[in-house]
Chains A and B, each alone.
Chain A
Amino acid sequence: MSSDAITIPGVGLQENPWVDTLHQWITTVDHKRLGILYIVYALVFLLLGGVEAAIIRIQLMHSHNDFVSPQVFNRMFTMHGTTMIFFVAMPILFGFANYLVPLMIGARDMAFPRLNAFSFWLSAFGGLLLYFSFLGGSGLYGAGNAPDVGWWAYAPLTARAFSQGHSSDYWTLALLVSGFGSIGTSINIVATILCLRCPGMKLNRMPLLAWLNLVMSGMVLIVITPLSAAQLMLLVDRYLGGHFFDAQAGGSAVLWMHFFWIFGHPEVYVLIIPCFAFMSEIIPVFSRKPIFGYPVMVAATVCIGFVSMSVWAHHMFTVGMNSYANSFFAITSMLVGIPTGIKIFNWIGTMWGGRIRFTTAMLFSVAFLFQFLISGLTGIMLASAPFDWQLSLSYFVVAHFHYVIVGGILFAIFAAFYYWYPKMTGRMLSERLGKWHFWLFVIGFHMTFDVMHVPGLLGMPRRIYTYEPGRGWDTLNLIVSIGAFIQAIAILVFLWNLVSSYFTGTKAGNDPWDAWTLEWSTSSPPPPYNFRTVPVVESRRPLWDLKHPEDPDSQYE
């Protein structure tokens, strides 16, 4: 990209190129660079969170293991959960949204480029703050280091008396800061989509990715903020002696649960909706068919957005709400299955009768469909309150939500990597390594998380650091742990693929997949201004129109 510009002789740029490049990256306000920064940053945290997961799995490999102490185990699952949700999944999806939304709607940048950079650095320092707790968490007391209160941080575990030192404060502040970053980015995405679409890009011609990110950003505005508010209250409690969650002064621990899950459940949809967006772009391209039921897809997404706001207390069936609340939240939770089912139906409808090309991206997409369906089914099982009373806080729940987050979100993110990496770097990812990555990961994933349902059904509670022999959990846990290590190898293959393909991959060209959306009409990687002339769009598949002037989509809309 800029290599042509730098070769001008006698310009100071060449004297210290890496410092200069670094400076450019740090001070950038370009949405593409910020998108890549988000993604790289998330990959670093993916490794950290992965190491924590590995420690958890080594500890649980057999009964009475003493690989780590109970205290360290608590820190590991807290940090693993917090890292993976807030500092891997969120930034990676924001990164893709940042990179793709302006390109797809024919804009030259986001609506507020500086706000964009500010939001990224807020998130980045939020992550650093969380991990700094390993060093600074013990504070003056010498008690504890990393947060160890679980990623829900239920009261009263976070009260001063039970969480001394500063580990919980680092947790609170990290989430508060990165939450503000998320809000900034969401405002940016909404403003970009509403104000910067290119001529002819009516809302009903917008790529589904833009639509779904619009819904996601709208949700972030409403759901991240309750978390921020709750964190502020927690800070008031911890530093100013407030009593929000202090049961001894009449405060309510259940209120924290409500506040946390008002954020916590819609958060799952905040994460999965961008993944739906990836699927809605990737599946049509590799099935060689336009998306099936575009308006229904949009409607279903908006519907999911609304319904998901009213399901949070299904995380709290065991708290002891009255039966009306239980029934309400059970019914709304099951309702989410309807629009989600519509979406899965439409993706399959898109594939039906298409000429499917099984590239790595498509393989991950198909696996996504299958696994997301299963995780949805266990979700419906858990949505019924009596069943949940039996299995809440067991490994069945752990298996369920990892099925969603790994089997759904992570697989979709991998598909997105294989699909858009050529656009971001100008080189293709190696398909050979990609197939290795896919099959290792699928095998490892199913070994771990299919099997993990069983100890849950047998009554193994989550968050225990070890267990007694003779309960029938040993072999199962060993299989789960082996699967986790196969996944770890697959991730390393993937990272190696990212790095090696950057230097040796085949050149991609503008449009390696013969796709239809606007980002493929510009060079790979795109120039800083994205489009030389602002594109004009006449249908949902502008590149199809360009490639097939004899039979454009615009005739049929």
Chain B
Amino acid sequence: MACLIIAESAIFTIFVIAYLFYIGKSLTGPTPRQVLETPIFFTICLLSSSLTIHYAGKFLQRGERRAFLSLWSLTILLGALFLFGTGREWHRLIYERSLTISTNLFGTTYYSLVGLHALHVTAGVIMLSIVAIFSFSGRVGIEHSRRVEVLSLYWHFVDAVWVVVFTVVYLLGR
């Protein structure tokens, strides 16, 4: 998983470089300053899900399955909330501000970078849900804790990427 994370980091690095390179290079509007709103609430959701998944893993190690399951479900919920936030923002941008991926360079880089991240969150939520389904049927025990740790490593990675994306898109990019 560490290797996969290295590889994924390289992919994100390239997209972030493209975003940074194209900041302010759009020939037509709308510009980020006009349309972007900082999604603070959903960012808090995603970042706090790192905490919940961490403690979920700790509970699993000690064999407290109920506590594990509730924190794990909370993580999924927070991840899904974040995805909902991204979706709402995109809906607003597309229908109210008429910014699509082909409008200008900002649109192209914004949607592909944020979209790539959202894709990873989606994949993460799906994988987390599979674990949740297994643990509802009582098949996740203390012996799986190392595998669950691997998945949680991935989730931390996705969160860390969001910190970078957030900085680049919502702080530097405006």
Q: Taking beta carbons and an 8 Å cutoff, which residues of A are in contact with B?
A: 183, 186-187, 190-191, 217-218, 221-226, 228-230, 232-233, 236-237, 240-244, 249-252, 255, 259, 262
- Given the known interface contacts A222-B6, A243-B105, the answer about A250 and B25 at a Cβ–Cβ threshold of 8 Å is yes
Q: Taking beta carbons and an 8 Å cutoff, which residues of B are in contact with A?
A: 3-4, 6-8, 10-11, 13-15, 18, 21-22, 25-27, 101-102, 104-105, 107-109, 112, 116
Q: Which are the 4 A-B pairs with shortest beta-carbon distances?
A: A241-B102, A225-B10, A229-B14, A242-B108
Chain A hits for B105, CB < 8 A? 243-244, 249-251
Chain B hits for A255, CB < 8 A? 18, 21
CB atoms of A243 and B108 under 8 A apart: yes
CB atoms of B11 and A242 under 8 A apart: no
Alpha-carbon distance A250/B10, docked complex (angstroms): 25
Chain B hits for A225, CB < 8 A? 7-8, 10-11, 14
Known: A229-B10, A242-B108. 15 other contacts (CB 8 A): A186-B7, A221-B3, A221-B6, A221-B7, A226-B10, A232-B11, A233-B15, A237-B108, A240-B102, A243-B102, A244-B18, A244-B112, A250-B22, A250-B25, A252-B25
Closest chain A residue, CB of each to CB of B7: A221
Alpha-carbon distance A183/B9, docked complex (angstroms): 13
> Which single member of A183, A222, A229 contacts B15 (CB below 8 Å)?
A229
Chain A hits for B10, CB < 8 A? 221-223, 225-226, 229
- Given the known interface contacts A244-B109, A255-B18, A255-B21, the answer about A183 and B104 at a Cβ–Cβ threshold of 8 Å is no
Alpha-carbon distance A241/B14, docked complex (angstroms): 20
CB atoms of A236 and B108 under 8 A apart: yes
Please give the distance in Å from B32's CB to the nearest CB on chain A.
Answer: 14
Please give the distance in Å from B11's CB to the nearest CB on chain A.
Answer: 5
Closest chain B residue, CB of each to CB of A237: B108
- Given the known interface contacts A186-B3, A222-B7, A243-B105, the answer about A250 and B112 at a Cβ–Cβ threshold of 8 Å is no
Alpha-carbon distance A15/B22, docked complex (angstroms): 65
Please give the distance in Å from A101's CB to the nearest CB on chain B.
Answer: 15
Chain A hits for B13, CB < 8 A? 226
CB atoms of B11 and A228 under 8 A apart: yes
Most buried by A among B14, B18, B25, B101: B14
CB atoms of A190 and B102 under 8 A apart: no
CB atoms of B104 and A243 under 8 A apart: yes
- Given the known interface contacts A191-B3, A225-B7, A250-B25, the answer about A240 and B15 at a Cβ–Cβ threshold of 8 Å is no
CB atoms of A250 and B109 under 8 A apart: no
Alpha-carbon distance A242/B112, docked complex (angstroms): 9
Closest chain B residue, CB of each to CB of A254: B21
Please give the distance in Å from B150's CB to the nearest CB on chain A.
Answer: 12
Alpha-carbon distance A232/B25, docked complex (angstroms): 21
Closest chain A residue, CB of each to CB of B6: A221
Closest chain B residue, CB of each to CB of A224: B7
